[in-house]
Amino acid sequence: MTLAIIILNWNNFEDTDECLSSLHRADLYGGFIVLVDNDSKDSSYERLRQKWSSWSAIHWIKNKENLGFAGGNNVGISYALAKGAEYIMLLNNDTVVNPDFLKPLIEYMAANDNVGIVGPKIFLYSHPDKFQSAGCQLSMITGRFGPVGGGQKDNGQYNMARDCAYLTGAALMISRKCIEKIGLLDADYFAYCEEVDFCFRARIAGFRVVYVPGSKIWHKVSSSTERLTKGSSLQLYLIFRNKLIFYRKHAKLWHWVAFLPFHFYRSVRTIICSKAERKAVIQGVLDGMIGRGGKPRWF
């Protein structure tokens, strides 16, 4: 069994360094780390290489442009597959892991041939005993996607493994056979919603998506994505655009009939904001309706 952990860095030495430090204390089960830099401009990549150059488990890749969350991770996934990885762990650079976080994920995946994706119990870095996510749920009727247990204190209420609609992209392990069957992350999303789409495609292909509570990590939640999206306007644009792209790909007619009033209401409610946010929401909705994905033209 060969395991690869993909970490994406973009202008963020401090978080990536802390993530690597936690991995250095963890049991990697003979696996390796692929650190993909998304064309950082702040010397964070060079500083990381300088500090961690002696750790042979790290393989270094520097992209020539910012490919977004999906595109950047796809570079790492493709590299890991070429190196023979059977299991691939996507791990946000703003996470800190428990030393034995990999063992429950590997064991569950190995014991269940129909499982394509597994994910850990994720706590808030700022409140270490409270959940960010115990798996995720979605409604094709309302278009609401989100974590189970968010903000709740861990009192053992989510200590059973269970199938989920999707798992947050902050930490999920994927089997090679799942990737070979459904393909890579959809780079049309750039950032936001790509893990929802990926897990949805996995379930359609017959793979189970499972939350495994024996594995634990802590997540700074929005740190990496906020850096990537440079603030609320781009973030809003991507959220409103990508949800519509997801629906264009996966929704049935009756899903659209139920969903559009909810989406229209959220759009109007959000538009009652600053001029920049109003423009971002409107442009996101328009681009989403016509299926214009990829890197935003004004990024």
Residue-wise pLDDT for 188-202, tens only, equals 999 899 999 999 999
Please give the model's pTM, rounded to 2 decimal places.
Answer: 0.92
The stretch 268-278 carries a mean pLDDT of 73
- As its CATH architecture, domain 3-225 has Alpha-Beta Complex (3.90)
Q: Is the pLDDT of residue 275 over 70?
A: no
**Phi, psi of 9, rounded to the nearest 5 degrees:** -115, 140
How many other C-beta atoms are found inside a 10 Å radius of the C-beta of residue 122?
Answer: 28
The stretch 108-127 carries a mean pLDDT of 98
Task: Give the least confident one: 172-176, 193-197, 223-227.
Answer: 223-227
Note the pLDDT of residue 222: 59
H helices present in 112-231, as ranges: 176-182, 194-204, 223-229
For residue 221, the SS3 value is coil
| Consecutive H or E run containing 173 | strand 171-175
The stretch 216-230 carries a mean pLDDT of 68
**Domain ranges in the chain with CATH number 3.90.550.60:** 3-225
| pLDDT digits 0-9 by tens, 7-54 | 999 999 999 999 999 999 999 999 999 999 999 999 999 999 999 999
Confidence grade of residue 245 (pLDDT, cut at 50, 70, 90) = very high
The answer to whether 41 and 69 are in contact (CB under 8 A) is no
| pLDDT digits 0-9 by tens, 134-143 | 999 999 998 8
- Round the average pLDDT of the chain to a whole number and report it: 93
